[in-house]
Amino acid sequence: MAKEQAVGVREQSDPSAPATPEAEAHAETPESEAQTDALAAPTPPAADEGVAADEESAGELDELLAKAAERDEYLALAQRTQADFENYRKRVARDSATAESRGLARLARELLPALDSLDRALAAAADADEVLIEGLRLVQRELLGALERVGVEPYGAAGEQFDPELHEAMAQQPFDGCEPGEIVEVYQSGYRLAGGVIRPARVLVAG
């Protein structure tokens, strides 16, 4: 029996002996081990894929920058359009107000001679019928009220200081109790509209 065990040991240790199926199944060659390691290790990304990803990112960034520039351009255009419209609206309103003021001033100039005639008629009708005088005063008040409602107002009164931009001096002479440059008498009332003189007041000035 010892002889059989020895023979068995020689058979197992003999490298020339054919391998059993179980041994062939468990035995691995260096080539198979290398293939297994290669499959198990993570595959690094290819260089071409990295370049393509960078190019795609760069393209997206350029597209975003182009859209941002286009947006800024449209915004600037909208702001300029709004500013131009606002300037146009102000210019139209200013021109309209100027045209209206000129029209009112022209109408007032046409009516002022009628008011002057009423003033003279009232001054000369001191002894006339009271009903007639009251009728003239009523017409005078209505005309003055109509002018005042559109912004036309009379000015010029005795005691005011002479202003060459508002008054027209018909004469100048010394008067007792009056300071030089003081208006002593008003020959014809002045009228103005929105700060502008329609007709200067004609006055007598103390010298």
Note the pLDDT tens digit of each residue in 87-117: 989 999 989 888 888 898 998 999 999 999 9
Which helix (H) or strand (E) is 190 found in, with range?
strand 190-193
**What are the φ/ψ torsions at residue 42 (nearest 5 degrees)?**
-65, 140
Q: In which band, very low, low, confident or very high, does the pLDDT at 13 lie, cut at 50, 70 and 90?
A: very low
Is pLDDT of 153 > 60?
yes
What is the rounded CA–CA span in Å between residue 132 and residue 43? 120
The confidence score (pLDDT) of residue 52 equals 65
For the chain, list the domains and their CATH numbers: 64-206 (2.30.22.10)
Phi-psi region of 96 (alpha: psi -120 to 50; beta: other; left: phi over 0): alpha
More confident position, 45 or 151? 151
The confidence score (pLDDT) of residue 101 equals 86
Q: Where are the alpha helices (DSSP H) in the chain?
A: 2-13, 21-26, 30-40, 47-124, 130-149
From residue 71, how far is each of 40, 64, 65 by CA, in Å?
51, 10, 10
- Relative to beta strand 152-155, strand 167-173 is unpaired
What sign for the dihedral angle of Cα 144, 149, 152, 155? positive
Q: Over the Cα atoms of the chain, what is R_g? A: 57
CA torsion 25-28-31-35 (nearest 10°) is 80
Q: Are the C-beta atoms of 167 and 200 separated by less than 8 Å?
A: yes
Note the pLDDT tens digit of each residue in 157-204: 999 999 999 999 999 999 888 889 999 999 999 999 988 899 999 999
Q: What pTM was estimated for this model as a whole?
A: 0.56
The confidence score (pLDDT) of residue 33 equals 52
Token representation of residue 97: 């107000």
